[in-house]
Amino acid sequence: MISIEGLSKVFTSNKSSVTAVENLDLNINDGDIFGVIGYSGAGKSTFVRLLNRLEEPTGGSIKINNEDITAMTARQLRIARQDIGMIFQHFNLLWSRTVEDNIAFPLEIAGVAKMDKQKRVQELIDLVGLSGKEKAYPSQLSGGQKQRVGIARALANNPKVLLCDEATSALDPETTNSILDLLVDINKQFGLTIILITHEMHVIRKICNHVAVMESGKVVEQGEVMDVFLHPRQHVTKKFVEQVMGNGEEDENIHGLTEVYTEGEIIRLHFIGETTNQALISQLAKNYEVEINILQGKITQTQAGAYGTLIVQIAGNELDEAVRFIKEKSSVEMEVIQDAK
Partner 1 sequence: MLNDLFQSIKIEDLIEATKETFYMTITALIGTFILGIILGLLLFLTSKDGIWKNKSFHFVVSAVVNVFRAIPFIILIFLLFPFTNFLIGTIRGPEAALPALIIGSAPFYGRLVEIALREVDRGVVEAAKAMGAKTRTIIFKVLLPESMPALISGITVTAIALIGYTAMAGAIGAGGLGSYAYYSGFMRRDFDIVFLCTVLIVIIVFIFQFIGDIIATKLDKR
Ligand X SMILES: Nc1ncnc2c1ncn2[C@@H]1O[C@H](COP(=O)(O)OP(=O)(O)OP(=O)(O)O)[C@@H](O)[C@H]1O
Binding interface with ligand X (CB under 6 A): 11, 18, 20, 38, 40-46, 199
Q: Which does 137 bind (CB under 5 to 8 A by kind): ligand X, Mg ion, partner 1, none?
A: partner 1
For ligand X, the closer CB: 44 or 205: 44
Tell me, letter by letter, the H, E, C secondary structure of the chain. Answer: CEEEEEEEEEEECCCCEEEEEEEEEEEECCCCEEEEEECCCCCHHHHHHHHCCCCCCCEEEEEECCEEHHHCCHHHHHHHHCCEEEECCCCCCCCCCCHHHHHHHHHHHCCCCHHHHHHHHHHHHHHCCCCCCCCCCHHHCCHHHHHHHHHHHHHCCCCCEEEEECCCCCCCHHHHHHHHHHHHHHHHHHCCEEEEEECCHHHHHHHCCEEEEEECCEEEEEEEHHHHHHCCCCHHHHHHHHHHHCCCHHHHHHHHHHHHCCCCEEEEEEEEEECCCCCHHHHHHHHCCCEEEEEEEEEEEECCEEEEEEEEEEECCCHHHHHHHHHHHCCCEEEEEEECC
Q: Which does 300 bind (CB under 5 to 8 A by kind): ligand X, Mg ion, partner 1, none?
A: none
For partner 1, the closer CB: 52 or 193: 52
Residue from 17, 29, 65, 92 touching partner 1 (CB under 8 A): that is 92
In the complex, what is the shortest distance from the CB of residue 44 to Mg ion, in angstroms, rounded to a whole number? 5
- Taking residues 13 to 52 in sequence order and writing x for each that binds Mg ion by CB under 5 A, - otherwise, the string is --------------------------------x-------
For ligand X, the closer CB: 20 or 128: 20
In the complex, what is the shortest distance from the CB of residue 7 to partner 1, in angstroms, rounded to a whole number? 18
Q: Which does 20 bind (CB under 5 to 8 A by kind): ligand X, partner 1, Mg ion, none?
A: ligand X
In the complex, what is the shortest distance from the CB of residue 83 to partner 1, in angstroms, rounded to a whole number? 9
Which residues bind to partner 1, rule: CB under 8 A? 52, 54, 77-82, 84, 86, 88, 90, 92-97, 105-106, 108-110, 137-139, 153, 157, 163
